[in-house]
Amino acid sequence: MTSAGPRGKDDVAARPKFPKGPPVLFDSSPTPLDLNFRVAGFPVRVTPWFWLTMALLGSSTLRDSVLALVMWVVAGFVSILVHELGHSVSARWFRAPSVIVLTTFGGYAQYYDRAPPSGWRRLLVCLMGPIAGFLLLGLVVVTHLSVGWMDYHPVLRYFGTFVCIQCLFWGLFNLLPIWPMDGGQALREVFYICGMRRPDPTVHTVSLAFVGTLIVVGVVAMVNPHHFLLEWVPIVPDQFMLFWFVLMGVQNWQMLQTYNSQRRWGDDDGEGWRR
């Protein structure tokens, strides 16, 4: 996902440290245990929470082996990093430099100062994360069908299988119209491009409605797993996903209350963009 500051013209000069960005569900402030490096010129910071979350998400792989859990975490690191690189590369193309932070429940690409001033450009930056993941999925599948590299060693088999699973399902999941996921941020830009006066409160309202529906479906599934309505629902959240959706619902509710209390017209594109 992307994390933008005020939207307007960008100062493209690089800075020596990470800008302070909003946390993704949990605090993502720098810690002494962070892993810092660069990829393709982009500063990357990996918090300890990222490794813990990935291990929890892949805990079921322990039924196979410890090696499977380790490769799940490695595959998650690669697939999410590629996802965020999709955001960052496209943002740099539009002269909006960014950094990458991998933290709880995934990560985000944080602009140094401002996002691209064009709604179409911001929309493309939002979508390039999932697109990069789908391209990685295609690369893994095509190369395996060509040379069968996943059959050479169990480590390669675990890695290739987990990358495919994560790129496919997490990519599709991330496109749900829920802020701050890519689908929600892309929906915000669609509202903006269509000339909606207040795109931010609207996207938080849509996110709340969507999250609320999924929470109700998840609760129904817990109470009565054989309920006839569940046959018509494409997404049935488990307990972990319910926890995730509740957190995002709270976050969207807080953002919506903030916008409503300010009684502000226009969007958050900075002083020059207010109407």
Higher pLDDT, 15 or 107: 107
Measure the CA–CA gap between 136 and 2, rounded to whole angstroms: 19
What is the pLDDT at residue 26? 53
**Segment 253-265 mean pLDDT:** 78
Backbone angles phi, psi at 49, to 5 degrees: -65, -30
Confidence band of 137 (pLDDT split at 50, 70, 90) = very high
DSSP code string of 123-152:
HHHHHHHHHHHHHHHHHHHHHHHHH-GGGS
What is the pLDDT at residue 262? 74
What is the pLDDT at residue 2? 67
Higher pLDDT, 134 or 95: 134
Does the pLDDT at position 20 exceed 60?
A: no
For 260, the token pair is 């409503």
DSSP 85: H
Dihedral sign computed on CA atoms, order 95, 89, 50, 268 = positive
Between CA 216 and CA 223, with CA 222 as vertex, the angle to 5 degrees is 90
**Segment 252-273 mean pLDDT:** 66
What is the pLDDT at residue 270? 45
Per-residue pLDDT tens over the stretch 192-202: 999 998 899 99
What is the pLDDT at residue 27? 59
Does the pLDDT at position 25 exceed 60?
A: no
- Domain layout of the chain by residue ranges: 2-175, 190-273
Does the pLDDT at position 209 exceed 80?
A: yes
Residues 109 and 3: beta-carbon distance below 8 Å: yes
Does the pLDDT at position 177 exceed 60?
A: yes
The whole-model pTM stands at 0.83
Three-class DSSP category at 231: helix
What is the pLDDT at residue 153? 94
Does the pLDDT at position 268 exceed 70?
A: no
Does the pLDDT at position 173 exceed 60?
A: yes
**Segment 52-69 mean pLDDT:** 92
What is the pLDDT at residue 7? 42
Calculate the average pLDDT of the chain. Answer: 85
**Segment 203-216 mean pLDDT:** 94
Lowest mean pLDDT, pick from 58-72, 147-161, 173-187, 219-233: 219-233
What is the pLDDT at residue 11? 32
Per-residue pLDDT tens over the stretch 222-247: 888 888 877 877 777 878 888 889 99
